[in-house]
Amino acid sequence: MAIQATAAASTATDYAGTYLGDNKQLTFFAQNQHLILEYQDTQIILERRYGDSFYVNHPDFALFLLTFKRSDNQVVEVFYGEQWYVSDRYTKTKTFNYPPEWLAYTGHYRSHNPWYSNFWIILRQYKLWIIYPVWGDGEVLVPQRNGVFRIGEDERTPERIKFDSIIDERALRAHISGCDYYRTFL
């Protein structure tokens, strides 16, 4: 995957502003054709990976890409894994409902599969997502039945993930394409 060093100056300003999350905030500004994150008294130049997703070269952002979301063509929110931040331009609901049993599925899963060794399952707002480490972002999981989810919004997608072996309210195994993945505890 080619890395684009920064957002172009004309688009970097789209992301500029302060985004508030649970007891945290992220502040971005555009300068000299760069999108910059002010974080812990440092300024970090973001690297665009694709679309509205950026890599942040800082250990606190090592697992996921920062992914901005738009509404009415304005950037209004940003995600880092499950963490959610909104700007003052965000006007939609901030309260979300989801089945409580979905919390059992969230976590990091691994396998000895050399082509697809691990992934994260996260809860963003009211949807489960699978996040691929290679790309840093992922796809939404659409519930089908009893712990089975379609991977992706497209109804034609055949890919499914099944969670099972629930112990102490945590799924220990996820099954995708004939391969078992097991929860890792960090």
| Strands (DSSP E) found in 99-178 | 107-110, 118-124, 127-131, 138-145, 148-151, 160-167, 170-176
CATH topology for 100-184 is Lipocalin (2.40.128)
Residue 3 has what pLDDT? 45
Q: Residue 39 has what pLDDT? A: 93
> What pLDDT, on a 0 to 100 scale, did the predictor assign at position 145?
86
Residues 168-178 pLDDT 10s: 999 999 999 88
pLDDT of residue 106 exceeding 90, the answer is yes
Residue 137 banded pLDDT, cuts 50, 70, 90? confident
- pLDDT tens-digit map of 24-47: 999 999 998 899 999 999 999 999
The pLDDT of residue 116 is 84
CA separation (Å) from 64 to 80, 82, 135? 6, 10, 9
| Alpha-carbon gap, residue 19 to 17, rounded angstroms | 7
The tokens for 58 are: 């800082």
Q: What is the CA radius of gyration of the chain?
A: 18
Q: What pLDDT does residue 183 have?
A: 95
- DSSP letters for 64-104: S-EEEEEETTEEEEEEETTEEEE-TT--S-------GGGGG
Residue type at 60 in one-letter notation? D
Q: What are phi and psi of 172, to 5 degrees?
A: -95, -15
pLDDT digit string, tens, across residues 146-185: 889 999 999 998 999 999 999 999 999 999 988 999 999 7
